[in-house]
Chain A
Amino acid sequence: MSKFQTSIHEYLETLPEHTFNRLYQKPATCLAIFRLLPPLGKQIIMSCLYVDRPIPVNEMKLWFKDGAGSIKQMEAMTRLKALHIFTDQHNNYRMNPTFLQEFRNALTGGGNSESFGLATSTPDKHHVDIAFLDDYATKQWEAILHFMVGTTEGKPPCKGVLNLLGRSGLMTGGSNAQAENMDAREFASQMARQDFGVPTITNKGFQFLLQDINTQVWAFLLQYLNMAESLNMDLVEVLTFFFQLGSLELGNDYSSEKLTPSQTHLLEDLKAYGIVYQRKRGSRRYYPTRLATTLTSGTPVMLGSHSHANKNNAAVAAAAARKSDEEEEDGHGFIVIETNYRVYAYTDSPLQIAVLNLFVHLRDRFPNMVTGVITRDSIRRALSNGITAEQIITYLSAHAHAQMRKHSPVLPLTVVDQIRLWEIEKNRLRAAPSWNYSQFNRQQDFESTLEYASELGVVQWSDSKRKMLCITNEGHQPVGAYVRKLIAKHKEQQAQQSQQQHQHQQQQHHHHTTSVHS
């Protein structure tokens, strides 16, 4: 399962029920959420869609085979319940009435179809074709990625994008690293004042670069959602618009007149990411680009699959691919790796080269390709930037050349293993802040302290012969208190003992004196 699906789902599942009820008022949203569901979830909804009474739990069980089947059913139902599509009432499954009605509308075309985007009634004098839109989307999106990798290609992205990059923790200003603690306004004003220093890419940003484009777009949009809350934008309107975009048709123009104020504002921002195109600010029509129309579609053909890699490649490297038509025809990828760690990348996209440069030691550049070699140093550089070996390997296999795909496994094993080994090697030293307790007077004090600390789960290391133990910083407070209590108790006992002894001595002394006197 691709990361994108889980993250949008995770996000949706955090929303309260009344938000869902408002979301489900739009047929487009119902359809979009339906498209995001796993096949079994879809199956269950389709089966229940035209049953006008609640379905007994026991009856639904009969639809599935015992064992593995019922486990899968449970998983699917948990998901559907989390999305508030189904509720569990008196051993009956009841479908959310709003969802039921609007989803029927979505399928049969009844009701108000405005939520699927209002097509403009008049033809556009400045009509643009799909190729133009692809080019536009590529240019805008690449400008953001270029800015992230720090190439000078293209103009720097606008303030809104910078703001989002900072907020999402993908980039951070050199001088001020506490971006996450700031609220959106504060951050925006800081960015605008330009006293933020030159933004630099963070570990998260490097990881972001290696994702496929759909994941990147969703990551951006999810971040936007988080920000929308702090900007007092209506979450439902924003989400509705995202899902609406996913149902639009590429190459058609849609009217922006019926949009709410916050959706108009949103349109402005999405323009900057290349998700929609508008000829000029305040224009009455807008075009969705490929980035928008693939948002909720084709979820089964995600990361790693051939057709997707193709689509991904086509979108990101449209400029590169168009020049070399052959590449685009069977362009599943562009990277060839040999067992001697040499890398040949058939690309002239500065962006792809910049991304490769993150972990490949590039040596020669030709008009249509670059060559390089994966070395210990180049991988270590990537690792110290926070990229993991797994991400490098995923990126390489997702973009492997058609020739490479004929082999199984796709990447040479030696190279994959070595990249992993280099990562392990980098972590030969594990350091953890700690408190070292030693010089326990009595073995039993040590044992009881160790037992107490183990119960808390804060022991890092211990040696009972040397009566020494190391505990975590968090454990210092309670364990320290425990030891002090032990010592106090011990002292008390000693004091009592000595007192008793003293009394005893006195008694003896008294006895002695009396005996003398007698």
Chain B
Amino acid sequence: MVKAVKGTIIECDTSVKQIIIGLNEKYQFIIEDLDDTHVYIDTTYVEQLRHDIDEILNENTYKVEEKDNK
């Protein structure tokens, strides 16, 4: 029997994909792991996911200001 599930498809690069998989351990929002650059998730988590990924990527960014302010 064919099953149809409503959700959100996420397209991203592989490194972000790994972060998503890491986050999934906490929230369990992945419905279907599609391939290296696609993942199918619960729509209600999209904003949360964006926010979390932004934060994680931010932590790994070199900032010019900090150097300027000494």
Chain A positions within 8 Å of B, measured between CB atoms, are 341, 361, 373, 375-377, 425, 428-441, 445, 460-461, 463, 468, 470, 476, 480, 483, 487
Mind listing 17 A-B residue pairs with CB under 8 Å?
A: A375-B63, A375-B64, A376-B63, A376-B64, A428-B53, A431-B10, A432-B9, A434-B7, A434-B8, A436-B6, A437-B2, A438-B32, A441-B1, A470-B9, A470-B34, A476-B6, A483-B4
Give A429 to B16 CA distance when docked, in angstroms: 8
- For residue B32, give the distance in angstroms from its CB to the closest CB of chain A: 6
Q: Give, as a whole number of angstroms, the nearest-CB distance from B45 to chain A.
A: 10
B34 cross-chain contacts in A, Cβ below 8 A? 461, 463, 468, 470
A441-B1, A468-B34 known; 13 new pairs, CB 8 Å cut-off, are A376-B63, A425-B57, A429-B50, A429-B53, A431-B8, A431-B10, A434-B6, A434-B9, A436-B6, A436-B31, A438-B5, A439-B1, A468-B32
Task: Known contacts A428-B13, A461-B34; decide if A435 and B5 are in contact (CB<8 Å).
Answer: yes
Of B1, B9, B46, the most chain A CB neighbours within 10 A belong to B9
Q: How far is the CB of A128 from chain B (nearest CB, A)?
A: 48
- Which residues of A sit under 8 angstroms from B31, Cβ to Cβ? 436
Q: Which residues of B, 47-62, contact A by the 8 Å Cβ criterion?
A: 49-50, 53, 57, 61
- Contact in complex: B4, A437 (CB < 8 Å): yes
With a cutoff of 8 Å between Cβ atoms, the chain B residues found around residue A463 in the complex are 34-35
Q: A429-B10, A429-B50 are in contact. Are A437 and B38 (CB under 8 A)?
A: no
Complex alpha-carbon distance, A377 and B64, angstroms: 10
Counting chain A CB atoms within 10 Å of each CB, the highest count among B40, B49, B53 belongs to B40
Partner of A432, one of B2, B8, B63: B8
Query: Which of chain B's residues have a CB closer than 8 A to the CB of A441?
Result: 1-2
B26 interfacial contact with A, CB 8 Å? no
Chain A residues lying within 8 Å of B61, measured Cβ to Cβ, are 376
* A residues in contact with B40, CB < 8 Å: 434, 436, 470
In the assembly, what is the distance between CA of A85 and CA of B24, in Å? Answer: 64
User: Residue on A with the closest CB to B35?
Assistant: A463
Q: Which of B9, B32, B35 contacts A431 (CB 8 A)?
A: B9
User: Which of B2, B4, B46, B63 is in CB contact (< 8 Å) with A445?
Assistant: B2
Q: Are B3 and A438 interface neighbours, CB within 8 A?
A: yes
Q: Which A residue's beta carbon lies closest to that of B40?
A: A436
CB under 8 Å from chain A, chain B span 25-44: 31-32, 34-35, 38, 40, 43
